[in-house]
Amino acid sequence: MIDLTLLGCGGGMPMPNRHLSSLFININGRKILIDSGEGTQVAIRKNKLGFKSIDIILITHAHGDHIVGLPGLLSTIGNSGRTEPLILIGPSGINEVINGLSVLFKYLPYELKVIENPKKLEFVFNKDLIELSSNDRCEFVLNTKELDHSSPCLGYSLYFKRRRKFNLEKALQMKVPKELWSKLQREESVEFNGVTYKSSMVLGDERRGIKLSYVTDTRPIDEIIDLVRESDLFICEGTYGSDEDINKAIKNKHMTFREAASLAYKGRVNELLLTHFSPSINEPKDFIDNAKSIFKNTIIGEDGITKALKFTN
């Protein structure tokens, strides 16, 4: 099961009743954060989510409402006692941005690994830490697409694989030594008495995992449909609720509720959660019908809203 907390649902600037857009992902006690605008630390504390076990930070782009809170956050993670490497991923130019911000966090007690504009990355859960995969084993796949915004910007999809069931009949048929059964459920291959045994010799068929997609800030482009296709949850910006604000959306390279819903419909996602609301929108729920008329299973993001994504049979 994957637990999600929408730390904030605002765009542009923090408001008295609305933190800036950021998502906190918890899987097996390890954490992934998407974006860190001003006030993100406050939202994390408010929701009692913790700092030390944040292994990966995904930055969509380098506008202030998505990254200004990063220096303080990285320092707090260090003060929490973290010594393991932390992975930070972002669009083209993120290395330059991090180098510039680094004057504010010169002495981190952990290594900060910055990865710029990747297309696809594979990860594993090792010893209570999410790490880049260095072999054939993979438990979590990250895909990205470049978006259409006023600065380099990435959309993200995260696919968490589901472990295959142990198949006793298969293991016996393949004459796999019993002492290797548990190892092969965790590892791709094991050498034993000069013979290489593969995990496929003891495991059943592949099972569908969980797909989560996150897209902000951008105009609606076809590449997004491919990125989010068949997501269990698609979190998307809805900067403007009213259809009458389409010209603002085009000018500022953002989306209306209706445009976001159209992407969800074309991508055949299970559920759409709208976020990144303009400060000019006091009550995003007033515009929900503009989205639901296109994609019925739409919900409006709220600060602190939680979701649990479960593996299906």
The pTM assigned to this predicted structure is 0.91
Q: Which pLDDT does position 313 carry in this prediction?
A: 66
Residues with Cβ within 8 Å of residue 194, at least 6 apart in sequence: none
Cα–Cα distance measured from residue 15 to residue 9, given in angstroms and rounded to the nearest whole number: 10
254 is in an annotated binding site: no
Cα angle, residue 159 at apex, residues 157 and 160 outer, rounded to 5° = 145
Query: Is 65 annotated among the ligand-binding residues?
Result: yes
Is 149 marked within a binding site?
yes
> What are the average pLDDT values for consecutive 10-residue runs of the chain, which has 313 residues?
96 93 94 97 96 97 97 96 97 96 92 97 90 84 97 97 82 83 76 83 84 97 98 98 97 98 98 97 96 98 96 78
Annotated binding residue 245: no
Query: What structural domains and CATH numbers belong to the chain?
Result: 2-164+206-309 (3.60.15.10), 168-200 (no CATH)
**pLDDT for res 145:** 98
Residues carrying an active site annotation: 65
What's residue 187's pLDDT?
67
Consult the annotation and say whether 61 binds a ligand. Answer: yes
DSSP label of 136: S
Q: Which two tokens stand for residue 58?
A: 């995904």
**Cα(290)–Cα(257) distance, integer angstroms:** 6
By CB neighbour count within 10 A (0-12 exposed, 13-18 middle, 19+ buried), where does 198 fall?
middle
Q: What is the pLDDT of residue 203?
A: 78
